[in-house]
Amino acid sequence: MKPIMTILKELIVNIHLIIRLAVYEVKGSYQGHYLGVFWQFLSPALQLFLYWFVFGVGLRSGKPVGETPFFIWLMVGLIPWFFLSGSILQGSNSIYSKVNLVSKMKFPVSVLPSITIVGKAFGFMLMLLILFFILFVYGINPGLYLLQLPYYLLSIFAFLFATTLLFSTISTIVRDFQQIIQSSMRMLLYLSGIFWDINRLPDVFVGILKLNPLYYIIAGFRDTFLGQQWFFDDWQYTLYFWSTTLLILFIGSVVHIRFRKQFIDYI
């Protein structure tokens, strides 16, 4: 537990610095663009429209999922996916791309993935606000299920923190790992229940696909915004998700502390 406590302490102590650097990074990413940070919304919105047109209009002919319009069902799944995918892909490369800048500074390298997560969170929160508006237009009321939104926000941030800490450490040591992550995220896009309902499959396949922690988060957002069930209704799956997240965090903390003094040697 000591490695985890060390990493969490570095995160808490530097939280204000993380937010400032995340804002600076977001502004710097879109410097010189006429639309500026508006691209944080426009880019996922264009992808959402494309996926809806291909999978909703093209392959499904606009058929709803249960009683939910496919566009709404898809949007509720894609919004957390964009945040998860973008944070994991960029966060896993955050140490390698910035370690030269902080190697001679009194700056904990462990917070670099968190800067990426916070930067991506700005666009994520904006998309959630837009989702609220669209649900209102469609007359969809989540009711009391919306009270569990903070829980799923905690889940997604905790999972991203643990995952990017581990992945960024391994990617710095073994550069091929970054390519593996990119290929895996493209595959998981279609195996996380974003475009289709995995519950239509036989139970054995559902059980295998639910081993993917990303599915827990995406399904949780749908349960919340579409008013389907509480997170504690399936307490076994909730226990599995948090056990997996804590295991990833423990491994990531141990590996990170073990190798971070040698990061500069791998560049």
Tens digit of each residue's pLDDT (9 = 90 or more) over 124-171: 988 898 888 888 888 888 888 999 999 999 999 999 999 999 999 898
Say how far apart CA 214 and CA 15 lie, in whole Å: 25
Euclidean distance between the first and final Cα of the chain, in Å? 29
Task: State residue 250's pLDDT score.
Answer: 94
Task: State residue 190's pLDDT score.
Answer: 84
CA dist list (Å): 236 to 168, 232, 241: 30, 9, 9
Other Cβ atoms within 10 Å of 74 Cβ, number: 21
Task: State residue 148's pLDDT score.
Answer: 94
Identify the residue with better confidence: 55 or 236: 236
105 pLDDT more than 80:
no
36 pLDDT more than 60:
no
What is the mean predicted confidence (pLDDT) over 46-70?
68
Average pLDDT, the chain: 83
Backbone angles phi and psi of 192, in degrees to 5:
-105, 15
Domain boundaries, the chain: 2-266
Tens digit of each residue's pLDDT (9 = 90 or more) over 186-222: 888 888 888 877 878 788 888 888 899 999 999 999 9
Percentage of the chain with pLDDT > 90? 28
52 pLDDT band, cuts 50/70/90, is low
Nearest 10 degrees: CA dihedral of 99, 247, 9, 167? Answer: 10
Whether the Cβ atoms of residue 159 and residue 91 lie closer than 8 Å to each other: no
Task: State residue 262's pLDDT score.
Answer: 72
Whether the Cβ atoms of residue 234 and residue 262 lie closer than 8 Å to each other: no
Identify the residue with better confidence: 241 or 191: 241
